[in-house]
Amino acid sequence: MPESESEAAGSRAPDMMAGSAIGRAPGGTGGRPPGRHERPSQRPAGVRPIGAPGHMGVDYEERVDFDRLRKYRLARATDALRASDCGAFLLFDFYNIRYTTQTWIGGALGDKMIRYALLLRDRPPVEWDFGSAVRHHKLYSQWLPEENWRPGFLGFRGAVAPEAGLMRDAVTEIKALLQEAGVAGAPLGVDIVEPPFLFELERQGIAIRDAQQPMLDARVIKSQDEIMLLNQAAAMVDGVYQDIAEFLRPGRRENEIVALANKRLYEMGSDQVEAVNSISGERCNPHPHNFTDRLIRPGDQAFFDIIHSFNGYRTCYYRTFGVGWATQAQQDAYARAREWMDGALDAIKPGVSSDTVALTLPRAQDFGFDSELAAFGLQFAHGLGLGLHERPIISRLNSLEHPVELKAGMVFAMETYCPAADGISAARIEEEVVVTDYGTEILTRFPAIDLPIASKY
């Protein structure tokens, strides 16, 4: 078969895939040898690890090749469009816009539904952006023709009523471009959309299909440059966890940990800190998925999740600590969460079906929930890339009836959670995993084999 455009742009799974205040809790290691800080590597002899080089561009090392990255992403998306029955994709999802047009503007506009892009089969994408951002793209983003950067505004999610005609005019402009491209009679794929905009598309006679499914399929296999960016992002969080481990002690507040993580990440070059979960003491069980101003106390168990992006590529990275000491109940919960994690990681290989991985995870009833829906998000995996929750999603809720094949080049975060027998503590672990030709590589390097103790007494 002839090579697809994305393969020509480098879409194949990368060849590289062929005196501290911190202590460990005694016991609770589940039979593992003490002192081990990471899982044994599956990397064959002679295969180099995934790089996490410096962030600067230099002439003496090959690092991230952004031109290659841009070509890869656009080719993957165009291949997905050509494989569909759509004449074009109209994209509102911020991550799909970035994937196809290679542009990004401030996160405050990310949920306003005013930026959109038209992906066509045989010509460069067209993007409509916010005000002066269009001039900036023309100056600094010259991989698209100047006329393909256009101003657009649809009303800030209804703040300007549809009766003002902004959506009508936008659809008229899009329809003219479809006619010019010779695809006006074909369906238009749309990823996410405001109802009034959808109604206007239909009013002007445009048949609609779902573009989000093919776009997520396009994004699921990461190139060598995407994987390097994901590894660089994870390396930044490795360092933040070292700072947290040294800062964490009784008298600190949960929000102070959040402030520390934000400060350090932006100092290291993060382009967006999406969220930092900071949870301690009796707030650990049930998992509240937020932070407060609670004072951390001696004997607390505390866990954190750091979600940020570097050059668009995200982390989702939990770690758990004991503060001062750990009780036997806390140690046991951590050992069980680690056991579940290792069982899932052992099952991940290219060609394996996702239901095989899901079946290694505990049932909802095994840790105190009535149903998989009620427990969702505590024992699962989710794809990582430009978005926080990409494909594959692996859990007992969805994977047993709708499994997918794991493939080299997939990257996802595997999460486990185990409540402690004391009724308030809990352990939370997350590892970011690259599926390789030979098994897996783990991007998250801060030690999580045994429960670390901060400010140990």
* Domain spans in the chain, listed from the N-terminal domain onward: 5-53+221-454, 85-210
74 closest CA partner among 110, 32, 126, 25: 126
pTM over 0.85: yes
Give dist(CA 310, CA 237) in Å, integer.
11
Rounded to a whole number of angstroms, the CA Rg of the chain reads 23
438 closest CA partner among 399, 404, 409, 403: 409
Residue 248 has pLDDT above 60, yes or no: yes
Give tens-digit pLDDT for 191-228: 999 999 999 999 999 999 999 999 999 999 999 999 99
Q: In what order do the strands lie in the sheet with 390-394?
A: 390-394, 380-383, 411-419, 426-436, 439-442
Q: What is the C-alpha end-to-end distance of the chain, expressed in Å?
A: 65
Give dist(CA 265, CA 222) in Å, integer.
24
Mean pLDDT of 323-341: 98
Show contacts of 283-291: CB within 8 Å, 24+ apart: 283/254, 284/419, 284/420, 284/424, 284/425, 284/426, 284/428, 285/419, 285/420, 285/423, 285/424, 285/425, 285/426, 286/419, 287/378, 287/417, 287/426, 287/428, 289/377, 291/254, 291/255, 291/257, 291/258
| Fold classified for 85-210 | Creatine Amidinohydrolase; Chain A, domain 1 (3.40.350)
Give tens-digit pLDDT for 42-51: 999 999 999 9
CATH number assigned to the domain with residue range 5-53+221-454, chosen from the 4 options 3.40.50.1220, 3.40.50.360, 3.40.50.620, 3.90.230.10: 3.90.230.10
